[in-house]
Amino acid sequence: NSSDLVTETDRAVEHRLRARIAERYPEHLCVGEEFNTAEDAVRIGPAPTWIIDPVDGTANFVHGFPFVAVSIGVVVEGRLAVAVVYNPIMDEMYTAMRGHGAYLNGAHRLPLQCRPLPATGLRDCMVGAEYGSIRDDTTLLPKIRSMQRLAAASAVHCRGIRCTGSAALNLCLVARGSLDVYWEIGIHCWDIAAGALIVEEAGG
């Protein structure tokens, strides 16, 4: 069934990534979504650490919705140093290295020059937001109320809200200038590690 497919694919991708990293960099550590343990939460220390989301947007993957990504961030000495987010369906690869900028497909520096005029307030902003995977009332209800306020015809409304189903790609859309804001709660380090550095290196 679709749930088994997601689990099988996620685990296979992460297993392959971990194996290649261990082969090339045996002294490095990995933290990932599919093989996460309680100890992983405190494993980010002096050793270089790879933070992996093997399939960000698993529901999208099952339904053929094209916002799916492999997301990898590398932490060195406690700081994100390298980031890669790759959407294999659209063949778009976002990369960043601390102090060296962020790029789309290695050739186009982010943000892209075709972005809209700078926003002067929330009313001008395109906002990315998600319902997320944590859907207990404590997390979900405040999020729904906030989305309602953003969409309502009031002084605080935004230009539009977009839900792609991928935290990593939402951050990349901010970096390229397609989204002005990405707002989310209830996510994990592997959801945002790579995207956060890409946004930072794009000037965000």
pLDDT tens digits for 150-200? 887 666 788 888 999 999 999 999 999 999 999 888 788 899 999 999 999
Residue with tokens 């971990």: 18
pLDDT the model gives residue 5: 61
**In Å, how far are 30, 155, 157, 168 from 197, measured between CA atoms?**
18, 32, 28, 11
Calculate mean pLDDT across residues 39-46: 63
pLDDT the model gives residue 41: 56
Higher pLDDT, 83 or 163: 83
Percent over 70 (pLDDT), the chain: 88
- 33 labeled binding residue: yes
pLDDT the model gives residue 12: 93
Q: Which residues lie across from 177 on neighbouring strands?
A: none
To the nearest 10 degrees (0 to 180), the angle between helices 167-176 and 189-201 is 10
pLDDT confidence tier of residue 201, bands split at 50, 70 and 90: very high
- 56 labeled binding residue: yes
Q: What is the mean pLDDT of the chain?
A: 87
Please tell me the pTM assigned to this model. Answer: 0.88
Is 53's pLDDT higher than 90?
yes
CATH number at 2-109? 3.30.540.10
pLDDT confidence tier of residue 28, bands split at 50, 70 and 90: very high
Calculate mean pLDDT across residues 27-46: 74
Distance CA 43, CA 49 (A): 8
Architecture of domain 122-201: 3-Layer(aba) Sandwich (3.40)
**In Å, how far are 162, 180, 197 from 114, measured between CA atoms?**
19, 14, 21
Is residue 140 within 8 Å of residue 131, measured between CB atoms? yes
C-beta atoms surrounding 100 within 10 Å: 10
pLDDT tens digits for 56-82? 998 899 889 999 999 999 999 989 999
pLDDT confidence tier of residue 43, bands split at 50, 70 and 90: low
pLDDT the model gives residue 150: 82
In the chain, where the domains are located: 2-109, 122-201
Distance CA 14, CA 55 (A): 8
pLDDT confidence tier of residue 9, bands split at 50, 70 and 90: confident
